[in-house]
Copies of this chain bind each other. A is one copy, B any other.
Amino acid sequence: MTELQLSQRRKQVLRIVIQEYVENAQPVGSQSIAQKYDLGVSAATIRNDLAALEKAGLLTHPHTSAGRIPTDGGYRYFVANLMAHTDLPSQERHMIRHQFHQARQEIDQWLRLSTAVLAKASTGAALATSPRSITSRVKHLELIGIQDTAVLLVLVLATGTLKQQLITLEQPIFQEELSRASNQLNVEISGATAADLPEKLEEFTGFTREVGELVLKTLLQSEEQITERVYRHGLAEVLAEPEFADGPQVRRIVQVFEQRTLLHEIYDDIMELSDVQVMIAGEGRFGDMQDISLVLSRYGVPDRVSGLLGVVGPMRMPYGRTIGAVRYVATLLNEMMHQLYGQNH
């Protein structure tokens, strides 16, 4: 993409239009700009600038005699070139950090908190996926008889995640045999990844082998699944924004917010990049996302676990603030999880 060349003043004008529009949700005209901001030029000049910015595809009118509003391209230019790098105010940061430290050692709690915090700090609705292991490593397994013919396989992964799987048997099995099988397997497969496992399983037969296969299956599954659990928060609030006054628009954002498939599609894109990603009106690559923007980030521990975190809201969104919030929460989560999953293993 060739970098668009704009005079300083025109950049300034664009910045003002976006800022005003984000704040008031009203088209902004040349006069009000000239009046409110002292650019040292008259309204007529600004009018010319506005026309130029419109020609460049950064602004539009809703109709002839209305002020200008930013296009999706306008927002993109703003985010890429004009936006002030905004961190959350330090007071707010401290409050959030404090809350996180309250919820000790509970990933589930952290993610709930993350969405709550994000929804509050942005104008959007927040969502987060549970973390997914990049390569799962078995730490320990346990077989527990639940009923005569029902056995619960409990799998502890190196990350501390628990997986459970119910096994239904043809005929009853004694707890001693369960213990024997689990002991044998533990010795062999503790620390193994999905890649190591098939080889190690070869020496086993019968029930023990079956359990081993199930472990493998569960392991693979846990590496695949990226939206095992999705945390959401703040949909009701974002619907109060004026752009969601009419029906179709509401359904659109609710769908984006609810659908798991979208997250699947986006996941890989986000994972490749370490910083916060902004996706305005679907960037042409995703379906019906007119007037909707996403601000997303990866979180986790590199090469170990990672998940998705972010905000979905109207295109008319305070990007600076939102990006700052998402970035801060992601950083915080990174810290917390680093501490948990830590250096060893």
Contact = CB atoms under 8 A, between A and B. Distances in A.
Interface string A21-57: 0000000000000000000000000000000000000
A152 B139 CA distance: 11
A154 B162 contact: yes
A84 interface: no
B166 A105 contact: yes
Interface stretch (A204-212, A238-246, A300-308, A321-329): A238-246
Helix, strand, loop or mixed for chain A's interface? Answer: mixed
A168 B105 contact: yes
B254 A235 contact: yes
A166 B160 contact: yes
A66 interface: no
Interface string A118-161: 00000000000000000000011010101110101010100010
B247 A251 contact: no
Given A152-B156, A160-B166, A240 B247 contact: yes
Contacts of A247: 239-240, 244-245
B147 A342 contact: yes
A236 interface: yes
Interface string A219-243: 0000000000000000110011000
A131 to B, nearest CB: 14
A305 to B, nearest CB: 14
A250 B237 CA distance: 11
A81 interface: no
Contact of A254 (B106, B142, B152, B239): B239
A139 B147 contact: no
A144 B166 contact: no
Given A105-B166, A142-B142, A160-B152, A254 B236 contact: yes
A344 interface: yes
A164 B240 CA distance: 39
Nearest to A142: B142
15 contacts: A104-B168, A105-B166, A105-B168, A142-B156, A146-B160, A147-B344, A152-B160, A154-B156, A162-B162, A162-B164, A236-B258, A239-B247, A244-B250, A245-B247, A250-B250
Query: 3 closest pairs, A vs B, by CB?
Result: A105-B166, A236-B254, A236-B255
